[in-house]
Amino acid sequence: MATAQFGIFAVGTSAHCYLEFDAKTGASAEELVRAIAGLEEPHSTVGGANIVVGVRPSIWAEVCGDCPPDVADFDVPVVGPDGFTMPATQHDAWLWISGSANDLVFDQATAIIDALAPHASLASEITGWSYRHSRDLTGFEDGTENPSLDEAAGIVATPPGQAGAGSSVLLVQQWRHDASWRALSVDDQEKVIGRTKLDSVEFADDVKPADSHVARTVIDDDGVELDIFRRNVPYGTVTDHGTLFVGFSREQSRLARMLDKMAGIGDGIRDALTRYTTPLTGAYYVIPSIEALSEFSPPADAD
C-alpha cells in the first residue's frame, strides 16, 4: 500500500523552512528527482526535523508518470474579473523542513541546499514560525476547517487503485499582509473572515457575508464539502510579513476551484480578505508517496 509522506501530518511544530529549487542547466529531470530522493528519507524524522519533498508536476510525470489525476503546473496566473491576480511562480522542486526549534531546522535546511547544489539552484527560501499557537497574523484561528488527523490521510492522499496512489497535490502561496488590516475594528475584521475572532465561531449562513473568506474558500459538490488539509504558517518580520498557504489535497481540482472562487471567477464575488493581503507566489507540486519516491533513491549499499 502506498503511503503519504509522514511530515505532512506532523502538526504542532513551531519552526519551519520552505525551499524551492530550479534544476541547473544541463541537469535532467531524472537527475533532479534522484538527487531529491537521495536526501535523508522524507518518511522519517532526522535530527528532530521532519522533511516533506515535492516535485513540479510536469517533471514528476516525465520521470515517473504515476501522478494523481489531472495534475498540472501552476504556469498561468489566476485573474479575476476585476483584474485581481494570483501570480504563477512555479519552480521545479519544493522542500519543507519543520521541527521544534530553529537551530534543528536551520542545520537540516543548510545540509539540503548543499546536497542539491550540483543539480539545482535555490530559487526561494521562506522561514515560518508559529504565532499564538494556532493563529495567523490577522489574529484569527487558522486551520479551523481542517479535517481531524484521523481523516486527513483520506483527504491528502490519492486512494489505492488510482494513479498516484499515496501521493498528494500541494498548493503553496505566499500572501503578504497589508498594514491597513490593523485599522479595521474587530467587528469589521470578523465580517471579512466570516467567523468570530476570539473563539473562532463561524457565522451562520444567513448572516455570513457572501464575500467573507470562509464563504469563498469552502468548496462543495451538491452540498457535500470537499476538504483540503492546510498547514499554513506565518512568515516575515514586524514590517513585512504574512501567511504562507500550504494546502494538500488528493485532487488538484479542489485547490484550483478554491483559487477561482477567491478571485471571483464565475460569480464576480471576490474574497474580502484579498483586499488586505497580496499574493506574491503560486505553485503546485506533486508530493510523491514514500514508495514512489524511494524508487529513485540510491541503493542502500551505494557509497
Residue type, 172: V
Q: How far apart are CA 206 and CA 186, in angstroms?
A: 20
Render 79-130 in DSSP notation, one character per residue. E-TTS-EE-----SEEEEEEESSHHHHHHHHHHHHHHHTTTEEEEEEEEEE-
Q: Are 126 and 18 in contact (CB under 8 A)?
A: yes
C-alpha R_g of the chain: 19
Separation of alpha carbons 303 and 292, rounded Å: 22
Q: Which three cell numbers stand for residue 11?
A: 502538526
Cell of 194: 466570516
- SS3 helix, strand, coil % of the chain, rounded to 5? 25, 25, 45
| CB neighbour burial string for 269-296, b if at least 16 within 10 angstroms, e if fewer | bbbbbbebbbbebbbbbbbbbbebbeeb
CA atoms of 141 and 132, how far apart (whole Å): 9
142 as an active site residue: the answer is yes
Give, to the nearest 10 degrees, the angle between helix 102-116 and helix 29-37.
Answer: 140
Read off the C-alpha cell for 302: 551505494
Q: Which of 66, 142, 211, 227 is catalytic?
A: 142
Which amino acid type is present at position 31? E
First to last CA, the chain: 29
Kind and range of the H or E element at 150?
Answer: helix 149-156
Cell of 256: 484550483
Which residues are known to be catalytic? Answer: 142
